[in-house]
A and B are shown apart, each in its own frame.
Chain A
Amino acid sequence: MEKLIEVTNLAYTYRAGAGNAVTALSGINMEVYRGEFLAITGQNGSGKSTLARHFNGLLTPDRGEVFVEGIPITDKKRIADIRKAVGMVFQNPDNQLVSSIVEEDVAFGPENLGLAPEVIRNRVDWALKTLNIESLRLESPNNLSEGQKQLVAIAGVLAMKPECIVLDEPTAHLDPRSRREVLENVTRLNRNEGITIILLTHFMNEVVFCDRMIIMDMGKIIITGTPQDVFNKEADIVRLGLDFPVAARIASGLRAKGLILPESIIDAEELVNQLCLLK
């Protein structure tokens, strides 16, 4: 598989040189493959956000190197290409929406790329349609639910037609139903549109959608593998202070026994609903 992002020997320190320097990352080696769904998990302060901010050049490494589509992120002249390839969605949707009208906000990214008005219009329509939020087109973000705001934020990144979308704890502020809606949309973007997804989360039950996962702790990568592999190392996950996705595990166990259950089950409520639907 083709590598989209490659990280070699990355280290990063906050307040480097000052007395209270904090080492956020050290000795990170990893890669992201084109078209995959990668989850990066870890407790708060494990360094996952810091790592993600290297993927589109918001931070530059103290040591080591990061390449996006073969371009080093330290190449200031090509930073626009890197930002176009790797879009980012943050935790609090309120603090990333710019305009008071949904479609204007979605247009913000493409406008920054200097595209022609008709092209921008097409992309905005497409992004809103892909996420099923066309009906919100003329709403003000202030009137939307947190989940809807987050979908608008994702649409804003999607309209820039990125290769890859990094989502930094996109569901932390959401209620369970909105969480599922956002995750389903993200999964669909990965499956149908072929967009590489990097999901940062500390909810272990969200990683069931992903192809591959990385667990970080204290600024280092501890475990890498498919969710199935990782979940088998139960003791490790517990030691790292992460929750265990009980509903997802029960569902996958039942699937293995031959019950027909959707893969999207991540919480108890959904599991119960789906079990009740079975004959």
Chain B
Amino acid sequence: MELTKNITLGVYLPGETVIHRLDPRTKIVIASLLIFLLLMIKSYPAYGMILLFLTAVIFISGIPIRYALCGLKPMLPVLILMWFFQLFLYSSPDAHVIFSWWIFTATDAGMHMGNLISLRVFFLFGATTILTLTTSMVGLTDGMESLLNPLRKIGLPTQELVMTMVIALRFVLILAEELDKIVKAQMARGVAFDRGNFIQKTKKLFPVFLPLFINAFKRAEELIVAMESRSYTGGKGRTKMKTLHMGRVDLIAGLIMLIFSAIVILIIFTIQPQI
């Protein structure tokens, strides 16, 4: 399937390591904490700590590093472009000019800003990729449902939202296959999708997406009837076959994360930020 070939975000690599066995809730909370820390970090040593942490997690979970990194490939041009933008556009009063040409002026402050932002995006991507590589989609949705449960009290339909996610995950592949089928059927009837200018190309997509949407609605209607006849009436009164259990590993993982966060926060507040 060409549409899903190069995407590692959302792919699950089954395994039996400690990281895999952690309760999905623990992993979601740890990943969220990491993301929160990443948004506060403004110095290289703190990024060094994150790098150390993520490398350790990747090592323990047995994910091939090359595989984890290959998902970054499609993002690389964006990262580089962002770095150059920061280099030339960001400046501060006391910055040293590295070089200047025509209207472009690069300062050391700009360079640091570029570095920090690229590192941030890189690590954000890394943390979420590790989460999805080591946690099954069902684990993730169960974890989310359980974590969001308190919000039910203020009237948020959390179970229904999670059910929607579960169904969406199930149908992503089906619809991707269907899209492929429609495209091939149109090509067989002589539509050349790669020819013509931008507007002509876009016009050719209408006869592809129209049947896709119509089919999606038909499927949705059939699914509703099937769910209804299996007694689905919304989240109320529903139970779960698999209940989540926190164990000793989760406690240890939580403690490690707590200590790690403390160290990173200490670095954030003691070391002079780069900009």
A, B assembled together? yes
Q: Number of contacting residues on A, CB 8 A?
A: 38
A124:B241 contact, CB within 8 angstroms: yes
Closest residue to B218 on the A side, CB-wise?
A95
Contact flag A112-B241 (CB < 8 Å), given A90-B226, A98-B167, A100-B138: no
**In the complex, what distance in Å separates the CA atom of A114 from the CA atom of B223?**
21
Contact mask B218-249 → A, CB, 8 Å, 1/0? 01001101111111110001111111000000
B170:A117 contact, CB within 8 angstroms: no
Minimum Cβ distance to chain A for residue B247 (Å): 17
A95:B226 contact, CB within 8 angstroms: yes
Contact mask A76-88 → B, CB, 8 Å, 1/0? 0000100110011
Chain B residues whose CB sits within 8 angstroms of the CB of A112 once the complex forms: 230-233, 237-238
| A203 adjacent to chain B (CB < 8 Å) | no
A116:B239 contact, CB within 8 angstroms: yes
A156:B138 contact, CB within 8 angstroms: no
Contact flag A98-B166 (CB < 8 Å), given A104-B241, A111-B239: yes
A83:B229 contact, CB within 8 angstroms: yes
Please pick, from A87, A100, A111, A116, the residue contacting B229 in the complex, using a CB distance under 8 A.
Answer: A87
| B174 adjacent to chain A (CB < 8 Å) | yes
Minimum Cβ distance to chain A for residue B205 (Å): 24
Closest residue to A55 on the B side, CB-wise?
B229
| A63 adjacent to chain B (CB < 8 Å) | no
Contact flag A114-B241 (CB < 8 Å), given A58-B225, A94-B219, A95-B223: no
Chain B residues whose CB sits within 8 angstroms of the CB of A101 once the complex forms: 136, 138
Minimum Cβ distance to chain B for residue A23 (Å): 21
Among B97-147, those with CB < 8 Å from A are: 136-138
A156:B230 contact, CB within 8 angstroms: yes
- B: interface residue count bin: 20 to 34
B230:A157 contact, CB within 8 angstroms: yes
Contact flag A114-B230 (CB < 8 Å), given A94-B174, A95-B223: no
| A231 adjacent to chain B (CB < 8 Å) | no
| A120 adjacent to chain B (CB < 8 Å) | yes
B239:A117 contact, CB within 8 angstroms: yes
Closest residue to B170 on the A side, CB-wise?
A100
Among B164-186, those with CB < 8 Å from A are: 166-167, 169-170, 173-174
**In the complex, what distance in Å separates the CA atom of A120 from the CA atom of B239?**
9
Please pick, from A80, A90, A98, the residue contacting B225 in the complex, using a CB distance under 8 A.
Answer: A90
**In the complex, what distance in Å separates the CA atom of A70 from the CA atom of B232?**
23
Minimum Cβ distance to chain A for residue B241 (Å): 4
Max chain A CB contacts within 10 Å: which of B174, B231, B243? B231
22 example contacts (A-B, Cβ-Cβ < 8 A) are as follows A83-B229, A83-B230, A87-B230, A90-B222, A92-B222, A94-B219, A95-B226, A96-B222, A96-B223, A98-B167, A98-B170, A100-B137, A100-B170, A104-B241, A108-B227, A111-B239, A111-B240, A112-B233, A115-B239, A120-B240, A120-B241, A156-B230
Given A83-B231, A117-B240, 4 new contacts (CB under 8 A): A83-B230, A84-B231, A95-B222, A98-B223
The 5 A-B residue pairs with the shortest CB-CB distance in the complex, in nearest-first order: A96-B226, A95-B222, A107-B241, A120-B241, A112-B231
